[in-house]
């Protein structure tokens, strides 16, 4: 049983929390330009790390707030708890091109240089994945 330290409530039993999957998976900058394979990889493909892993947690029966956690998947040792939207506190979280995620822009949360094409001339409706605009 894990004893998880909620940033808002303090240490609570693991049963008060829900696991929310891998943290730091950026939403595609232009989802309508992804093909079906890229979109499905964004939705369903996640890292399966043995060792330190950044993951999201929800304090569902407490403050109902999300937060991130660095946890060792082998020893269950909780190494850090930090707010949503902030960078991973260790250096291992630096995105790499072959990290296994589906993102075309691995650092899309911090870059602003690649402006999306808003003219619409390069977007073919036939290639837009269904539901991608929601
Ligand atoms: Zn809480």
Per-residue pLDDT tens over the stretch 16-74: 999 999 999 999 999 999 999 999 999 999 999 999 999 999 999 999 999 999 999 99
Residue 82 has pLDDT above 70, yes or no: yes
* Sheet containing strand 66-72, strands side by side: 18-22, 52-58, 66-72, 78-83
89 CB contacts (<8 Å, ≥6 apart)? 70, 80, 82
Distance 32 CA to ligand 1 centre (A): 36
Instruction: Name the residue among 73, 64, 52, 50 with its Cα closest to residue 2.
Output: 73
Question: Per the structure block, which two tokens stand in for 113?
Answer: 């240089």
Distance 56 CA to ligand 1 centre (A): 13
Distance 18 CA to ligand 1 centre (A): 11
Architecture of domain 3-89: 2-Layer Sandwich (3.30)
Distance 10 CA to ligand 1 centre (A): 7
């Amino acid at each position: 049983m894990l004893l998880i330290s909620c940033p808002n409530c303090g240490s609570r039993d693991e049963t008060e929390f829900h696991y929310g999957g891998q943290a730091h998976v950026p939403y595609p900058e232009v989802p309508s330009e992804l093909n079906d394979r890229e979109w499905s990889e964004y939705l369903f493909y996640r890292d399966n790390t043995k060792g330190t892993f950044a993951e999201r947690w929800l304090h569902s029966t407490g403050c109902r707030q999300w937060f991130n956690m660095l946890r060792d998947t082998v020893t269950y040792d909780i190494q850090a708890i930090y707010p949503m939207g902030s960078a991973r506190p260790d250096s291992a979280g630096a995105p790499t091109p072959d990290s296994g995620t589906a993102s075309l822009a691995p650092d899309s949360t911090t870059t602003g240089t690649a402006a999306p094409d808003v003219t619409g001339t390069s977007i073919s409706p036939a290639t837009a994945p269904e539901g991608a605009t929601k």
